[in-house]
Structure 1
């Protein structure tokens, strides 16, 4: 388990030269343009509401913890930034999902030699788009009730002391789940099975999500982090999860033909 964070960090390092390779350059254009729009909206909103939202959150802190105000301000600021990003990124992720699915597919083909046997006809492309949209909806339905529950904990005295940490952990988990999902979905691993697989590697997922979260705060890098994260997640699929879940699609096809 102790090696899991290093695997997550190593995947990002390996992803950087891959993302600029001639075979993959085309797939970063759409998310790059989408990220420019996203970051513009996030920064406009942050400038308008950031301090107000953090101040409101700080008002719920018990007085006896006032000496730690600076620390909790940093925590609340990080959570607010993630929530602002996530609220806008839902729409961007829905739009970019088909492109990210194709990117994950091409990375797996390049790294393993596997050829996804479906020719890219109009019908197949439409099916991939619809499947990607369905998967994004599953992620939204997974996120909302858990986020609301954690948000409610923030209003309960004493419990609200740990609520920011829980929200931060959940945010990193959601970022990992978001980007890991493309490779799993390409291999027809159901959403529930994918979550169970990721849950078996918690430190790796939290580290992966934390790297994405920090990258989102770095100017210029935040414009490219979406495709970089997809490539890194696909590399983790290949090295960590493919040995145990890689045959899922084949077994599913056999059962459908039976």
Structure 2
């Protein structure tokens, strides 16, 4: 277990040259375009409505707590930032899901020699989009109650001291869950089974998610972070998780998951 953080870091170091290779370079273009479009839309909406939303929220507070306005601005600003971050992440991932799924496939083929017997055609893309939407819904349903609980902890005295740390760990966990999902899904591992597999290796997941989280704050690098994270996650699937789940996907029809 103590080597897991080094494995996560090593996967990112190996992912950089892989994602820029000739075979995989094309998969950068779609998430990059999706990043530009969604980021522009979200920031325009956020900046145009933030002040009015804050004024509306502050109007419900009693006068005697008006001296704490600055604190509520920070809290509400943090909540809106986190919601925007996850909205942006979910939106980009839904738009780029078919390409990221195929990117994970190509990395696994390149590294292991395994061949997924399917071509990039309309029916396969529709099937992948449908499965991706289903998995995104599962992630949202998993995320929301836990996020609300962490927000509630932020308002409880003494406990609220550790709430930011818990929120950071949870954010790293969700990023790990998000990007590991492509390789697991390609290999027909159910969402619940994937969570159990990742939960057994918390240091690996927190390190992976932490690297993604920090990278997303770095200008320019954050635009390319999605394909890099998918490649790194696929490398971790190959080196850490693949042997635990067998290699049955070659026997399955990927469009419906049946033999």
TM-score, with structure 1 as normaliser: 0.83
1:164 equivalenced with 2:180 (yes/no): no
Distance 2:97 2:75 in 1: 38
Q: Is the 8 A contact 2:38 2:91 kept in 1?
A: no
Structure 1 residues 58 and 131: alpha-carbon distance in aligned structure 2, compared to 1, 3 A threshold = closer
Question: What is the DSSP-based 3-state SS (H/G/I as helix, E as strand, rest coil) of the residue aligned with 1:89?
Answer: helix
Residues 1:117 and 1:220: Cα distance change in structure 2 (over 3 Å): same
Name the residue aligned to 1:70.
none
Q: Which residue of 2 aligns with 1:6?
A: 6
When residues 81 and 5 of structure 1 are mapped into structure 2, their CA distance, relative to the original with a 3 A threshold, is farther
Taking the aligned partners of 2:172 and 2:30, their CA distance within structure 1 comes to 24
CA contact (8 A) 2:116 2:250 kept: no
Contact conserved, 2:197 with 2:241, CA < 8 A, in 1? yes
Cα 1:195–1:187, aligned 2, differ >3 Å: closer, same or farther?
A: same
Question: Which residues of structure 1 form unaligned runs of 5+?
Answer: 61-75
> What is the alpha-carbon distance in structure 1 between the residues aligned to residue 12 and residue 137 of structure 2?
27
What are the within-5 Å matches in structure 2 for residues 1-258 of structure 1?
A: 1-41=1-41, 45=46, 55-56=71-72, 81-249=81-249, 256-257=258-259
Cα distance in structure 2, aligned partners of 1:59 and 1:148: 14
* CA shift for structure 1 position 48: 8.0
Instruction: Report the Cα offset of residue 121 of structure 1.
Output: 3.6
Contact 1:172-1:210 within 8 A present in 2 as well: yes
CA distance in 1, matches of 2:96, 2:157: 40
- Separation of aligned partners in 1, 2:141 and 2:208: 22
**TM-score normalised by the chain length of structure 2:** 0.83
Do the aligned residues in 1 keep the contact of 2:215 with 2:221 (CA within 8 Å)? yes
Give ranges in structure 2 of 5+ residues lacking alignment. Answer: 55-68
Aligned-pair CA distance for 1:135: 1.0
User: Contact 2:27 / 2:100 at 8 angstroms: preserved in 1?
Assistant: yes
